[in-house]
Amino acid sequence: MPSDLMNKRRRMETRRIFEEAYRTIEKKEVAVIRNVHGFPVYNRDIISPYLMLFICHSGSSRALYDMREVVFRPNEIAMILPNHIIHPIECSPDYSITIIMHSIGFEQEMTQRRMTHDRNKFHDLPACLLTDEEMAQYMKAVELMEIISNTPVSRFPHRHEMLLSQTDIMTDMLDAFRREMDDDARLHNRGYTVFNEFCHLLAMHYREQHEVAFYAEKAHLTTRHFSVVIKNEVGLSASDYIEQYLATQAKNLLTSRPDLSVQQISDHLGYADSPSFSRFFKRHTGITPGEFRAKG
């Protein structure tokens, strides 16, 4: 089979797998997705509302995570936090991963349950390299999670509690596996730290806070100094980064949520009215939200 045709079929299959996972995740709470061989799209920003854990079995992939390049290799486990930007670039022909996805409600409950667990460290260093033995141990835990998540409540009346407990176990395992890496992690400069915190805050507050001043205040910096720090890190001013993030959120919603009107998407993203949102969107894409949706 010609490589172009094979790549097209793999992209279509990956897109089908993700669409199915998105349709069922809120009911399942946790999904274990096997035999994923790529990204649903390439060279386009993606923002997912779900926490996802990627486990690489073979091959490699390359992407931008909040505009910084990351490479994902065999025996690595990477955590992608909700509402952060992934820009897939490429993956090797032998790329094969397992994905664990948490629903929004389930992840919120886990966050409250595990206040001592710092998921933000996975933004600084997304991937954790495991030994062969550690990977084998972790995959046994994944297999049990898969059994629980695929079993109906009629058979497992305490299914929700079982999912929480199994996630606790897998979180503790991953923390133990990456402890040495965290201890040896490089000390980042102030700009790196400010940018990381900016990404976390934007993921939480993008619906109600579009102004640079809000994020600068959280960093205890003047708006001008804050913008300079962000531009030094990623080449964009803070305001440009916020607008790019909002444009990506808008495109994702227009594509993945046909049930939402343009007005509802405008409200979701915190714009005063639909015309303001449409002007913003056209400035960034060259077309209106309706035209973008019609293109598919």
* pLDDT, tens digit (0-9, with 9 covering 90-100), for 104-160: 999 999 988 776 566 767 776 788 889 999 999 999 999 999 999 999 999 999 999
Query: Quick one: pLDDT at residue 107?
Result: 92
Could you tell me what percent of the chain has a pLDDT over 90? 68
Q: Are 225 and 231 in contact (CB under 8 A)?
A: no
Query: Quick one: pLDDT at residue 1?
Result: 40
Lookup: tokens for 75 = 């025996």
Lookup: tokens for 253 = 């919603």
Q: Strand 127-129 and strand 76-80: pairing? A: antiparallel
Interior CA angle at 180 toward 177 and 185, to 5°? 120
**Rounded CA gap, 8 and 34, in Å?**
19
Query: Quick one: pLDDT at residue 117?
Result: 61
**Rounded CA gap, 87 and 67, in Å?**
8
- CB count, 10 Å around CB of 285? 15
Interior CA angle at 256 toward 255 and 260, to 5°? 90
Chain-centroid distance, C-alpha 131: 25
pLDDT at residue 180 above 60?
Answer: yes
Average per-residue pLDDT for the chain: 89
Angle between helix axes 223-234 and 190-205 (nearest 10 degrees) is 100
Residue 128 DSSP SS3 = strand
279-292 mean pLDDT: 93
Question: Any idea which of 25-34, 136-145, 189-198, 254-263 has the lowest mean pLDDT?
Answer: 189-198
- CA 165 vs CA 80, 126, 169, 176, 286: distances in Å: 21, 23, 6, 17, 48
Chain-centroid distance, C-alpha 244: 16
Residue 71 DSSP SS3 = strand
pLDDT at residue 193 above 90?
Answer: no
Q: Are 35 and 100 in contact (CB under 8 A)?
A: no
- CA 80 vs CA 7, 52, 200, 220: distances in Å: 24, 5, 12, 27
By residue count, the chain amounts to 296
pLDDT at residue 8 above 70?
Answer: yes
Query: Quick one: pLDDT at residue 251?
Result: 92
pLDDT at residue 2 above 60?
Answer: no
- In the sheet that 61-65 helps form, which strands lie side by side, from edge to edge? 46-47, 85-91, 61-65, 68-72
Q: Are 39 and 96 in contact (CB under 8 A)?
A: no
